[in-house]
Amino acid sequence: MSMTIEQARELMHEWTESPALRVHMECVAACMGAYASNLEPGETDRWIVAGLLHDFDYEKHPDASEHPTVGVAHLASLGVDEAIRAAILGHAPYTGVARESAMAKTLFAVDELSGFIVACAKVRPEGVETLQAKSVRKKLKDKSFAAAVSREDIAEGIEDMRGLVKPADDEAFASEHIQFCIDAIRAERERLGV
Ligand SMILES: [Fe+2]
């Protein structure tokens, strides 16, 4: 049995009241859907479900000893498949679960970056509408901006994605990945208010 996008969203809302955390999971899901369309088109819904649920237990169980393991155990009890559960565990490096599938690698690669893109959008009058990879990269170098976002995780994610997407121009890939995520989030801009 696989969970539908609607069921995943309902479950996420059940466990998460914070509007910001809901938007974060929606942004990650938007990036997951966009990448799935390119990398594993038949699996798009499952990639979106992984995005929608990757932090769904965080509000109730923020401690690293419980997030995301408590949520993943609940997903197992609901019959959510192993690949989605492994991807969710893998997005938290301290679980020790290796990111083996394209879904797992992509989830890790869009998670912190989505948070950072939303932080960049917040300080612009037009939000994500006119945001470009160039200004995101500039802000990444400013360590005082959105200091809680791990630059190391974003850099590691870029390397993961480089292996999956196989770009012609390596130098340009970081910007391509960032722009791809900006565009995916922008496509949902009105619904998410970013
Ligand atoms: Fe996240």
- Domain range annotation of the chain: 5-192
- What is the CA(89)–ligand 1 centre distance, in A? 11
State the distance from the centre of ligand 1 to the C-alpha of 120, rounded, in angstroms: 16
pLDDT score for 166: 76
- Ligand 1 mean position, distance from CA 111 (Å): 5
Mean per-residue pLDDT, 166-180: 84
The Å distance, Cα 126 to ligand 1 centre, comes to: 24
Global model pTM greater than 0.85: yes
Distance 114 CA to ligand 1 centre (A): 8
pLDDT band at 168 (very low <50, low <70, confident <90, very high): low
pLDDT for the residue numbered 1: 56
Alpha-carbon gap, residue 75 to 113, rounded angstroms: 25
pLDDT value of position 83: 96
**pLDDT of 191 higher than 70:** yes
Give the residue among 74, 75, 104, 80 at the shortest CA–CA distance from 92: 104
Centre of ligand 1 to C-alpha 192, Å, is 16
Asked if 91 and 68 count as a contact pair (C-beta separation under 8 A), the reply is: yes
pLDDT at 148: 94
Mean pLDDT of the chain: 95
Instruction: Report the separation in Å between the CA atom of 1 and the middle of ligand 1, taken as the mean of its atom positions.
Output: 25
Average pLDDT of the segment spanning 97-103: 96
For the residues 100-114, what does the mean pLDDT come to? 98
What 126-129 contacts at long range (C-beta under 8 Å, 24+ apart), as own/partner pairs, is: 127/189, 127/194, 128/182, 128/185, 128/186, 128/189, 128/194, 129/186, 129/189
User: For residue 61, what pLDDT is reported?
Assistant: 98
- 125 has a pLDDT exceeding 60: yes
Q: How far is the CA of 167 from the centre of ligand 1 (A)?
A: 25
In whole angstroms, how far apart are CA 61 and each of 16, 45, 65, 89, 112? 11, 26, 9, 14, 19
Stretch 124-139: mean pLDDT: 96
Residue linked to tokens 């390397």:
159
**Cα 28 to averaged position of ligand 1 atoms, centre (Å):** 7
Please state the rounded mean pLDDT for residues 156-166.
90
Over residues 35-73, the pLDDT tens digits come to 999 999 999 999 999 999 999 999 999 999 999 999 999
